[in-house]
Amino acid sequence: MPDRRASRVPLTRERVVAAAMALADEKGQAGASMRAIAARLGVEAMSLYNHVAGRDDILDGMVDAVFAEIELPAPDDADWKAAMRDRAASARAALRRHPWAVGLMDSRGHPGPATLRHHDAMLGALRTGGFSIPLAAHAVSVIDSYLYGFVLQELSMPLGAAGDLDEVAGDILSGLPGDAYPHLTEMINAHIMRPGYDYGREFPFGLALILDGLTPDEDQGAPAR
């Protein structure tokens, strides 16, 4: 008979973090309790502590693993805008794949190696594109703020487009005297409840607006070519 769980493979911090991520993806962050993570690995809760400092350490690892999933901007891409666009799309996809990640990002002050590598690559791409140090700092701040904030809003929406929005719309339109919230009502009726509406399509608009507002302030790629 095989042993009850393939405990041939050794428990490691990586395996613990991976199990926690899978669990969080399936049942939400709260579903990834120490006991549940351990059970998924065929082990008891306290055994995790031999490889991990505690729950917070696992959470840190999860956030870093999400950063590791994001495609880095190519450091020698002559077209910095395209690099920023691709990287933003990849980051948004990763954050949607792991919806708990955005909520974990505050409260977590210990960036892991993948996080650091990621930010280094961002700065590298911008510097190569001709951004001075202060302007690169500005650029990273705007771009990432927009990215995180957009995903945050996107995730706080219900699903697809209609469905639950109907419900909210109903709450808004009903019961109240005349219409409180006239502009909101107008927006919902004339725009959001339209058949093809999808909030996700707003993403490229805002990103393009931001990227078009940024202009390199140094010669293009000093050492490049």
Partner DNA sequence: TTGACGTACTTACGGCGTAAGTCTAGCGTT
Partner DNA sequence: AACGCTAGACTTACGCCGTAAGTACGTCAA
The gap between the terminal CA atoms of the chain, to the nearest Å, is 62
* Residue 50: DSSP 8-state: G
Q: Which of 17, 19, 21, 34 is in the footprint of DNA by CB under 7 A?
A: 34
The contacts of residue 126 (CB under 8 Å, 6+ apart) are: 80, 84, 135, 136, 139, 140
Q: Which of 18, 49, 96, 155 is in the footprint of DNA by CB under 7 A?
A: 49
Neighbours of 47 (CB within 10 A): 15
User: Cβ of residue 36: shortest distance to DNA, in angstroms?
Assistant: 5
User: Cβ of residue 165: shortest distance to DNA, in angstroms?
Assistant: 25
Q: Which does 224 bind (CB under 5 to 8 A by kind): its own copies, DNA, none?
A: none
CA neighbours within 13 Å on the CB side: how many for 173? 11
Q: Which does 8 bind (CB under 5 to 8 A by kind): its own copies, DNA, none?
A: none
- Helix and strand counts by DSSP (H, E) for the chain: 10, 0
Take residue 60 and report the two structure tokens written for it: 């840190």
What CA–CA distance (Å, rounded) separates 136 from 73?
14
What CA–CA distance (Å, rounded) separates 159 from 206?
21
Check binding of 43 to DNA (CB under 7 A): yes
Check binding of 51 to DNA (CB under 7 A): yes
User: Cβ of residue 145: shortest distance to its own copies, in angstroms?
Assistant: 4
Site for DNA in 9-28 (CB under 7 A): 10-11
User: Cβ of residue 108: shortest distance to DNA, in angstroms?
Assistant: 14
Q: Which does 11 bind (CB under 5 to 8 A by kind): DNA, its own copies, none?
A: DNA
CB nearer its own copies, residue 86 or residue 154 = 154
User: Cβ of residue 35: shortest distance to DNA, in angstroms?
Assistant: 4
**Alpha carbon distances (Å) from 2 to 5, 7, 72:** 8, 10, 42
Which residues are near DNA by CB under 7 A? 7, 10-11, 32-36, 38, 43-47, 49-51, 54-56
